[in-house]
Structure 1
Amino acid sequence: MHPFPLLHLPLVAKENVLSMMISNELIELSLTSKRVRKTVTNFSKIIPKFRVTLGVTSILYISIVLKGKNYAYTWETDGSDQKRKTENPIELWMFAYNYIKGVLRCQLDKIHINLSSCPRDNKSITDWLLSQQETVAKAEISNSGVETDDDLKYIMSNITVTDKLMLSSSEYKENFQMEIPSISTDLFIANSRFVDFEQLLRLKNLHITLYESRLTNQELNKFLKSWMAFESHLMLETFEINVSGPEAMEVIMDLPHEETADQNVTESFREKFPHHIDETVEIGFDIKRKDGKVATVCYGNTDDGHLFFMFTR
């Protein structure tokens, strides 16, 4: 059988053939020769951009998504991959992304980093990521039972996240403090015990979720009063935080409010908090801001524990 003469096809026919290929097929094709690589690279300039996630977890991975299809390349971080035992998996991972980026003209959409996976390399990985892009749309940063405070601060002070920032670290030093970037639209902190009241007031994210918080009911009451006085969180759309139980509402709601007129408050709640789609909330209360904007607050006993919710209308 003769090889398929891709390079000899008319331009339109060539583009039709390439458009039927998935990401890993394009990458493998580009490895056959310099001429083919140039052809694939030129084609990648006119197709929709691939979305790429770079991961440093129990494995190193590159995930490529286009039109709902996901393809991944992985490397073991513990040397268990005998085929690559003598090679540095992080260098291979970086080299592979540089190659894929050059061929597919892709943009880095998300980083997913467990700071406990390659602790000696966290700073160099952060520096390398910064050399690729100064901003990413999404980031999920975690650790696994090992304190990585300095590495967390370093990556947060160097990488700008514009859309969704998830901090899932489970361990901090006793007096750990860190300024939280407010650029991202969504902010989720799984262990937010380091976030004090003054820091809460400085947050400007549109959607804020704080779990394992140490903020008191009195401080949450002050937070609502600050919003009502048009002093903080001017662009806030949703707020979610853990509380001790339904009794917390008595202290938190010690301010002007009225029972919400929304007869479908549970449906409104689920629309605003889709990750709680199967949850129900108790009767909500409406509070009004100085400029007339209304927010509904409510309590729910959810799978994630006792939570206080606020969403603006």
Structure 2
Amino acid sequence: MEKPFPLFRLPRLAIEEVISTMTPFEIINFSMTSLKIKYFIKCLLRTSRNSQYVLQVNTTKEPIIVLRGSEIYFKIKITSFKTMNRQIEYKHDFEIQKYDIFWIYSENLIDEWMNFVRIVKEVFQIEEHIVIFHIDQFPTRNKLIVDFIKSLTPSIESCEFHGKTETDEDVEYFLNNLNVTEFVGFNLKLSDRFTFPQDNFLEGFTIDPANWLTFDKLLRLKGSEFYIHGSPLTNQELNQFLILWMTSQCHQNLGYLLININDPQSVDIIFNLPFEIMNPNVERIGRLPNNDTISLKEGIDIKRNDGMTGTINFDRRLDKMLLTMVVSQIN
């Protein structure tokens, strides 16, 4: 029988070299062997260059953990199929990069998922947290999942909600316990009684369907980009929203708006306000709030009282008409 290799008798530089050759999954497994090894790896990774990572957790049917960094991209999937245990699947996504999927078998999917999330969080230095929450997959454990994430971090950068069951309670519990700082995506139907409970500014919202988003609730949302489908807003309310924007009474940090139009036949009601039709033969350069520039061709311009311009165009999604508005400073 071979004797175990005395790794910690090697010089520190030699130990670091050994660990640097390991895959992320090997690092995770190695860190689970003892508290001493976990502490050493944790210190090593947190003092090395390119050591900050994005952690994405997903409570889908086979719960997922994704870790992304400048030199690392890998997934862990928790599965109920024994034959997949410890299998490694190599993927190549042309939109991102090559990555590995490591399959872990467990009879208790969420418990095992939480175990590995905790280990990844302890070992790697996480600079951004993304949560994709499928409320239908483990409905009796949704609050436990939220409490678990909160125990690791009280604040996350981004979250998405998916599901078919109309349940406000789990979404509200999530948002009342975890502070979201950048993006929220609602990809599920909520009741008309639902109100977004946070009042901090976010970079973006995606709401589909937006059946619950009344005019007053839209005014209370604070964000830079809005992608809204299926809202009940009337053309008169869209007109009122644009007037309030033009007079700097709402959404002064708005950079982009996409929203459905429920009555395309009376779209002129929306534009019962001062506007100019752009010359289709003229290309203009607009400066966005983040100082990026954008090329603008055609559309309808409305002016805010501080000089900002909202350039409006129309698009379609299947049989639905959409209004899009880009806010910029015209050079």
Whether the TM-score (by the shorter chain) exceeds 0.5 is yes
Identity of aligned residues (%): 27
| Structure 1 stretches lacking a partner, 5+ long | 273-280
TM norm structure 2: 0.80
| 9-18 or 80-89, larger mean C-alpha shift | 80-89
- Following superposition of structure 1 onto structure 2, how do residues 79-228 of structure 1 map, counting pairs within 5 Å? 87-107=107-127, 109-143=129-163, 145-169=164-188, 171-173=189-191, 175-181=192-198, 182-228=200-246
CA apart distance, 1:282? 8.8
Amino acid at match of 1:42: C
Provide the secondary structure at the position in 2 that maps to 1:50: strand
More displaced stretch, 303-312 vs 252-261: 303-312
Matched positions, count: 297
Question: Of 215, 218, 233, which aligns to 2:251?
Answer: 233
1:3-22 matched pairs, under 5 angstroms:
6-22=7-23
* Separation in structure 2 between the aligned mates of residue 302 and residue 283 of structure 1, nearest angstrom: 20
The CA distance in 2 between the partners of 1:299 and 1:121, in whole Å, is: 43
CA distance in 2, matches of 1:39, 1:239: 48
Amino acid corresponding to residue 39 of structure 1 in structure 2: F
Letter in structure 1 aligned against 2:16: E
Change (3 A) 1:304 1:11: farther
Where does residue 43 of structure 2 map in the other structure? 42
Q: Tell me which residue corresponds to 2:59.
A: 56
Aligned-CA RMSD value: 3.0
Alignment check: 8 A CA contact 2:278 2:297 kept: no
The residue type equivalent to 1:212 in the other structure is G
Instruction: List gaps (5 residues or longer) in structure 2.
Output: 86-103, 291-295
Structure with greater helix share of residues:
1
TM-score of the superposed pair, with normalisation by structure 1: 0.84
Measure, in 2, the Cα distance between the counterparts of 1:51 and 1:304: 37
2:89 alignment partner in structure 1: none
Matched, 1:287 2:302: yes
Whole-angstrom distance in 2 between the partners of 1:110 and 1:97:
12
Distance in 2 between residues matched to 1:42 and 1:85, nearest whole Å = 29
Pick which of 25-34 and 36-45 moved more.
25-34
Instruction: For 1:311 and 1:103, locate their aligned partners in 2 and report how far apart those are by CA, in whole Å.
Output: 42
CA spacing shift, 1:60–1:178, aligned 2, 3 Å: same
Residues 30 and 131 of structure 1: is their aligned pair in 2 closer, same or farther, counting only changes over 3 Å? closer
Deviation at 1:289, TM superposition (A): 0.8
In structure 2, what is the Cα distance between the partners aligned to 1:114 and 1:147? 12
Amino acid at match of 1:291: D
Q: Is the 8 A contact 1:208 1:240 kept in 2?
A: yes
**Structure 1 residues 128 and 255, CA gap change in structure 2 (3 angstroms):** same
The structure with the greater share of residues assigned to strand is: 2
Residues 168-196 of structure 1: CA deviation (Å, up to 9, x unaligned): 01x334x4322253432111111111010
Closer/same/farther in 2, CA of residues 25 and 240 from structure 1, 3 Å limit = same
1:59-88 per-residue CA deviation (whole Å, 9 max, x = no partner) reads: 212111122642111223xx5558799843
* Amino acid corresponding to residue 302 of structure 2 in structure 1: I
Give the 3-state SS of the residue equivalent to 1:147 in structure 2. Answer: coil
Residues 27 and 163 (structure 1), Cα distance of their counterparts in 2 relative to 1, 3 Å cut:
same
Provide the C-alpha distance between the structure 1 equivalents of 2:209 and 2:257, rounded to a whole number of angstroms.
15
Contact residue 234 and residue 262 of structure 2 kept, 8 A: no
Deviations 1:244-289 (A, max 9, x none): 4754531111110001358347x97xxx9xxxxxxxx993111111
1:150 CA displacement: 1.0
Moved more, 297-306 or 204-213: 297-306
